[in-house]
Amino acid sequence: MSSSCCKGKSGKLAGSCALTGSQLVELSPTRSKPEIDDDSCCNVNEVGSLKQAQLSTLVAHSETVSPCVVCDGFSSLGQSCCNESCIIRIADRECNESCGSRGDFPSTSTADEKAYDKGDDCCAKSKQSTKNKKGPCQSHMQSAKSRFQPTLDALECICRTLFALNLESCCSKIDNTSCMSLRSSANTISHRQSSETPSKCGKGDGYCCVAVSDLHKKQPEQECKKGRPSTGASCDKLVISRLSTSCEKKCCSEALVSATAGVTSNNCRSDDSDSIESRILQAPTPDVHMDLEKGYLSRERVVLSIQGMTCTGCETKLERTLANIPGVSEIKTSLVLSRAEFYFSSAQMSVNEAVVRLQKETGFECRKFTQEGHELEILSPSLSENKLGKSPPGVLSINRTTDGTSIIVYDPRIIGARDIVEKSFDKELKLAPNRPDPSISAGNKHVWQVGLATLISACLTVPVLILAWAPLPKQKTIYSSVSLVLATIIQVFIAGPFYVAALKSLIFARVIEMDLLIVLSTTTAYIFSVIAFALLIAGKPLATDEFFETSTLLVTLIMLGRFITASVRQKAMQSISIRSLQHSTAILVEGDGMVTKEIDVRLLQYGDIFRVMPETKVITDGTVISGDSEIDESMITGESNLVAKSKGSHAIAGSINGSGILHVRLTRLCDENTISTIANMVDEAKLSKPKTQDIADCVAGYFVPVILLITIVTFVIWIAVGIANQKKSTSDAIVQAVTYATAVMIISCPCAIGLAVPMVIVIAGGVGANNGVIFRSANSIEAAKNVTHVVFDKTGTLTMGILSVKRSSYFDSQTEDVKPILLGLVSGIKHPVSQAITQHLKSLGVSPTSVLDIKSVPGKGVLGKWNGNEVRAGNILWTQATSSSELQQFLSSGSTVMCFTVNNILRAVYALSDTLRPEAAQVVLDLHSKGVSTSIVSGDEVNAVHKTAKSLGIPLSNVLSGCSPEDKQAYIQTLKASSKSVILFIGDGTNDAIALASANIGVHMSEGTDVARNAADVVLTRPDLRNILVLIELSQKSFRRIIFNFVWSFVYNLFAILLAAGAFVNFRVPPAFAGVGEIVSVLPVIAIAVGLRWSKFSN
């Protein structure tokens, strides 16, 4: 049975319940609920009168609602949670109300259900005692069935229907201690024990969806241990409840087991093996994890913007810290994007608690945001969760932020953004300023903070340098004192975060990163200078003076390097940001089109019409309803030619209008339009890591420990050299060794190695998107350079996919009877052949005949039933069309042939023609010149496929016709069996899903707003085969840059360490200037990656 949302007579919810078997679960509400006047099953008349047309809509919408743990539990078992017992309880409720009875609800066991149909008089029944009551009267039973049976048959869950309508559901009467939140913004349901829990086991006068064996109001505690169910007892595999105090102490305390086990003892089960309860208890336990106090767990996707990462060591620390948090899985991190993504499911803590722990253990600033759903950020400090009860249907949650704003999460299918802001609360709300892309904003904030720290450090360092290097009067004690104060400020406030980061990395993540080298080197220089100063004050100065300028200049140069690196990296990210194409305001058209007003794009809602002025961007995806113009879609599709737009044309978000004015009806909100879709796919590729990244991670992981070892060796060698060869005192030799060791630690830089791959991958993803190639994973960028074989689908890929009927022939004297049947069969099919036949028949004025049980068979055709006869439309082999001279003529012409049969008797044949894409021949030629083989696999007839292959210069030995999806898969697997072969398959998505998944690289040809309809590795945003060449060449150019970055990183660190260690007699790098190492090492890596933006491709 499903649980439901319940209320008492007061109309206000006090808790939430979910009863399965004889179990009552007390759950904490997350918000108050709208008042419902009718105390019968949550306005059951409204739901019961649903028309069949509304049910299909509710099915789709109810899938997005997770009303209760029991509904979800049954769904996971593939079972429905409601049955006719729900209708019986509704009838009983109405029966009781009509006679003023408020007694207990009847048993819903199978035996008792039969008793309900006896047809006892309604008011006579009310005179019975509650204990002996037998159910509703015949009239109420028939009324409830007539209203609710269609809904139950269609949806199998009345509760979900009520939740989809934003109504409360209670299939039985309950008291105000057992209620459930209608809309919960939380991802776990927290349990608590109500203060109104009955004091005795089995006491209580209401239940929630109790479709189990007989539950009596009064029942001795002894019955519990004898196997009879008692109200409040926890006796079910599907739900583990927290029991009332008396139950815990007296009869059911042994029933509680660990939450992970998910099974209670049998102390309280009914002995009736035929009851509904017994059948539920014998069902397999659903895969739902639960903690007794936290409730059932959901699996939430969490996206965080991370501020404060500076090198690959930071990213490693982030990954390891996340991996140590319970419930975190599928971790993805990106230093370049300043982002982390993972899935979270834990009973030990909430998502917010996990984020707080992550911030504490890493020292990074983490901000949670979502790329899914619809949110409004409101400038209203007084708006809080307690306002949610007064909000209209569709407002799902209200959350306060640390910035003092409120986030409203809503369902735009139920309520629009403007309606929320203008009409839904006591006063009109005000939108908060629009936030930029979280990755960009986090990066900007980090650059600003590092820049400020660098400026302060520079201002404090300059006086120290002047006091150390300028020819000033000899007042050493005063100068040293001033230098000490300034150096201390820099060491504590500017270099202080390095200490925190290094210690957290060691303690929590067990990572030795670059920050540790900075801490050791600057601390060594600072402490040595402090000791030298102390000895100077004590009148025992060292032969070598203190060098505060070394530690201060070192910190300043390190900060300067990080500031420049972060700035350049941020500029590179902004230059390829897809979301920057989204305009922030829209011109809304109201009324008859004469009235307009400018609004924030976040306030757009379904059904809106917006105006696109000349030379401005299209705000979001939509359909042109008036006006003519030409639009530049190159920023989205890479197509340089202007595209004509008129009434009925699709307008793509981010494209630039020409000289005309267009009125466009919105079809997608800004959070889900083409810009957002492409940006999400590009970000997905940026977050993934190619195999070459594993090499970089491996090297970077050993880098710092190796540098520490080299530092120790350098220190020891220079002490020995100073004493043995240079004849210095021990103290002087140690001072000299410290300077060399410090320089080695600080000049080495693993950041260049860590950025060698991700920086190129990020830029390549943006460059590809600007050229109409969307990479779904970084492995696709890496693998495309090695493509050895390109396999083409024919229709819609090598050809335009716009077929037209050239010839037709009918093998029945009743031609006019055949056409309506064929039209009824193919009119709803989206395949290009079916669409061509549909268009042809409609142009002849044919009206379709009803054909039943229509089924599309991929790679073969369509079949259905007409007046008990089997009708088929498809290729010759599948339809088993008999050969004839006329049919042979159709085939020999090289046309695509479609046959129509009735009971395997040929009734009609159509010859259809398609046009090759104009660039197809040149693309195939270019691929051959690169040493890449080509093939065609198609479900079309052999002559049509061979004709296409010959015109393109593809060998007939590489051509496969009449293919089913499985045949395409088998062909690709055969090609992949060859060693070192990398197969690229390209199709338009129709019947190509298996082949796309089988190939090393699956490429989907798409148009504009269709980019999200597939699961390919690469998406082409415009139907242009030349983008295959862009894909391969971009991969090759990216790989060359990655190799250069690796070589540069190796060469830099080799020579830098040798210079710092004093390997060259006449030249060395003083420790004070070793801090410039990060700038010298990282800037070339970023510059080489950014150079991809100006690459030229074959198209």
CA-CA distance, 547 to 266, in Å (whole number)?
78
Taking alpha carbons only, the member of 959, 1020, 1094 closest to residue 784 is 1020
Are residues 1084 and 982 part of one domain? no
- Residue 853, CB-side half-sphere exposure with 13 Å CA sphere: 10
pLDDT digits (tens, 9 = 90+) for 595-611: 888 899 989 999 899 99
Q: What is the distance between the alpha carbons of residues 305 and 327, in angstroms, rounded to a whole number?
A: 19
Residue 425 lies in a domain: no
In a domain, 230, yes or no: no
**3 state DSSP class of 189:** coil
Q: Dig out the tokens for 402 from the structure.
A: 């640390």
User: 3-class DSSP state for residue 318?
Assistant: helix
Task: Give the 3-state secondary structure of 108-149.
Answer: CCHHHHHHHHHCCCHHHHHCCCHHHCCCCCHHHHHHHHHHHH
Looking at 1041, 1061, 1077, which one is the last position of a domain? 1041
Q: Do residue 449 and residue 568 come from a single domain?
A: yes
789-792 and 983-987 beta bridge pairing: parallel
Whether 859 and 783 map to the same domain: the answer is: no
Question: Do strands 622-626 and 650-651 pair parallel, antiparallel, or not at all (unpaired)?
Answer: antiparallel
C-alpha 429/C-alpha 422 separation (Å) is 6
Residue-by-residue DSSP string for 333-353: EETTTTEEEEEE--SSS-HHH
Give the CATH number of the domain where residue 954 resides: 3.40.50.1000
Which residue range(s) make up the domain with 1082?
441-575+689-723+734-757+1042-1091
Q: How far apart, in Å, are the Cα atoms of 180 and each of 6, 33, 42, 352, 398?
A: 6, 9, 13, 23, 18
- What is the predicted pLDDT for the residue at 15? 33
Same domain, 469 and 549: yes
Structure tokens given for 842: 């409609």
CATH number at residue 609: 2.70.150.10
Q: Enter the DSSP assignment of 178.
A: S
| Pairing mode, strands 959-960 and 933-937 | parallel
Cα atoms found within 13 Å of the Cα of residue 968, Cβ hemisphere only = 34
Question: Which of 915, 936, 963 is the last residue in one of the domains?
Answer: 915
d(CA 914, CA 805): 9
Inside any domain, residue 1074: yes
Nearest CA among 826, 798, 991 for reference residue 898: 826
Tokens of residue 110, six digits: 């199978």
Tens of pLDDT, residue by residue over 449-465, are 899 999 999 999 999 98
Q: Are 170 and 6 in contact (CB under 8 A)?
A: yes
Model pLDDT, residue 1057: 92
Residue pair 363/353 in contact by the 8 Å Cβ criterion:
no
Whether 788 and 820 share a structural domain = no
CB-based burial label for 54 (10 Å; 0-12, 13-18, 19+):
middle
**Helix ranges, 960-1002 (H):** 965-976, 993-998
The answer to whether 665 and 623 are in contact (CB under 8 A) is: yes
Among 915, 942, 972, the domain-final residue is 915
C-beta neighbour count of 462 within 10 angstroms: 14
* Active site residue ranges: 793
CB atoms within 10 A of CB 284: 8
Q: Are residues 486 and 635 in the same domain?
A: no
Any domain includes 744: yes
- The reply to whether 43 falls in a domain is no
Task: Find, among 1065, 1060, 1067, the residue nearest to 1081 by Cα.
Answer: 1060
Q: What's the rounded Cα separation, in Å, for the pair 351 and 187?
A: 9
* CA distance linking residue 631 with residue 646, whole number of Å: 10
* Angstrom distance (rounded) from CA 682 to CA 675: 11
For the chain, the domain total comes to 4
Residue among 340, 297, 60 at smallest CA distance from 186: 297
Assigned domain for 1026 exists: yes
Task: Give the pLDDT of residue 292.
Answer: 40
Token couple for 764:
């390549």
782 lies in the same domain as 881: no
Q: Same domain, yes or no, for 909 and 921?
A: no
Residue 270 within a domain? no
**Long-range CB contacts (within 8 A, 24+) of 1048-1055:** 1048/752, 1048/1081, 1048/1084, 1048/1085, 1048/1088, 1049/752, 1049/753, 1049/756, 1049/1081, 1049/1085, 1052/749, 1052/752, 1052/1080, 1052/1081, 1053/748, 1053/749, 1053/752, 1053/753, 1053/1081
120 occurs within a structural domain: no
Q: Tell me the β-bridge partners of 400.
A: 406
Q: Are residues 928 and 1037 in the same domain?
A: yes
Report how far Cα 944 is from the mean position of its chain's Cα atoms.
Answer: 42
Question: Using only C-alpha atoms, what is the Rg of the chain?
Answer: 37
Are residues 1034 and 980 part of one domain? yes
Shared domain for 786 and 814, answered yes or no, is no
Q: Both 994 and 1069 in a single domain?
A: no
Distance from C-alpha of 290 to C-alpha of 237, rounded to nearest angstrom: 12
Under-70 pLDDT residues of the chain: 1-84, 97-135, 148, 150-298, 370-373, 380-391, 402, 436, 438-439, 542-545, 573, 575-577, 637-640, 813-815, 882-884, 989-991, 1007-1015, 1099
Distances (CA, A) of 179 to 5, 208, 284, 389, 686: 6, 9, 27, 15, 45
